[in-house]
């Protein structure tokens, strides 16, 4: 099934149009929470693009319940999340683009409204990446950990293999025009690679007083920390850095010890 709706991409000059992209595969247990958190936003100047990898567990049925709120939907096999996101980018019309996992959700109904002035300020400053706090939760939505540090503290870590928490980050459309789309040879670190293309010489804007998303623990990145680090090393080399740094080794050894001890 393919659904595509042409929409006006700007309501007023002060409210940038936002593309929200979700990739799903057999996500029937969590997809409605994600969709409702988007649909219920007080700011409605956005489009919702959903790329499904051919789910067989009822995900498509749940998505179709909200089809009138979805600008583009397709369900077909893909080669992974970065392939799905790249498909979505072909249809994205937003000034800013945000990626959510099916098990993620906007923290409250005012997230987009709260972000708008910061997005406008970032654009005026030539900044293409804006992020707030991401909250890791368990299946009952109990808070486990809060991610989010000022750019001044994380910029050097970014270059040494510590990624920004990608869910909920706002990417200006010009980032993709300048650097291209996601590298589909990556399984986990494609978002790190994309951001590194911009942030190895650029800067991001951190909004410390906004919790943007809740992220349910148990995703691919949570269960594959060692593979994360191996792919981060590849991304670092691709972007002109040495594969390994002392920070990379510290994180890799910690991940290895966790696997051995658990």
- What's the pTM value of the predicted model, to 2 decimals? 0.89
Backbone angles phi, psi at 181, to 5 degrees: -90, -170
Q: Considering its fold, how many domains does the chain have in total?
A: 1
CB 231 within 8 A of CB 206: no
What is the residue range of 130's domain? Answer: 2-261
Paired with 15 in beta bridges are 12
Paired with 46 in beta bridges are 18
CATH of the domain at 149: 3.90.550.10
Tens-of-pLDDT digits for all 262 residues of the chain? 566 655 444 444 578 999 999 999 999 999 999 999 999 999 999 999 999 999 999 999 999 999 999 999 999 999 999 999 999 999 999 999 999 999 999 999 999 999 999 999 999 999 999 999 999 999 899 999 999 999 998 888 888 777 788 999 999 999 999 999 999 999 999 999 999 999 999 999 999 999 999 999 875 544 457 778 888 889 988 999 877 776 767 766 777 776 676 6
């Amino acid at each position: 099934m393919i659904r595509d709706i042409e929409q006006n991409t700007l309501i007023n000059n002060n409210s940038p149009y936002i593309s929200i992209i979700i990739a799903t595969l057999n996500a029937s247990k969590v997809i409605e929470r994600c969709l409702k958190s988007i649909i219920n936003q007080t700011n409605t100047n956005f489009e919702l693009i959903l790329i499904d990898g051919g789910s067989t567990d009822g995900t498509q049925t749940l998505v179709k319940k909200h089809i009138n709120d979805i600008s583009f939907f397709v369900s077909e096999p893909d080669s992974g999340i970065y392939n799905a996101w790249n498909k979505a980018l072909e249809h994205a019309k937003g000034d800013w683009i945000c990626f959510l996992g099916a098990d993620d959700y906007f923290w409250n109904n005012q997230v987009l409204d709260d972000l708008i002035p910061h997005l406008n300020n970032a654009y005026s400053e030539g900044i293409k990446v804006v992020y707030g706090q991401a909250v890791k939760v368990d299946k009952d939505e109990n808070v486990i950990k809060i991610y989010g540090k000022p750019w001044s503290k994380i910029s050097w870590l970014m270059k040494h293999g510590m990624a920004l928490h990608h869910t909920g980050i706002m990417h200006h459309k010009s980032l993709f025009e300048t650097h291209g789309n996601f590298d589909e040879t990556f399984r986990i670190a494609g978002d790190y690679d994309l951001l590194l293309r911009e942030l190895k010489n650029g800067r991001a804007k951190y909004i410390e007083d906004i919790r943007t998303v809740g992220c349910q623990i148990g995703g691919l990145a949570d269960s594959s920390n060692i593979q994360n680090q191996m792919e981060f090393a590849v991304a670092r080399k691709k972007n002109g850095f040495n594969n390994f740094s002392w920070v990379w080794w510290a994180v890799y050894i910690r991940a290895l010890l966790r696997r051995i001890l658990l």
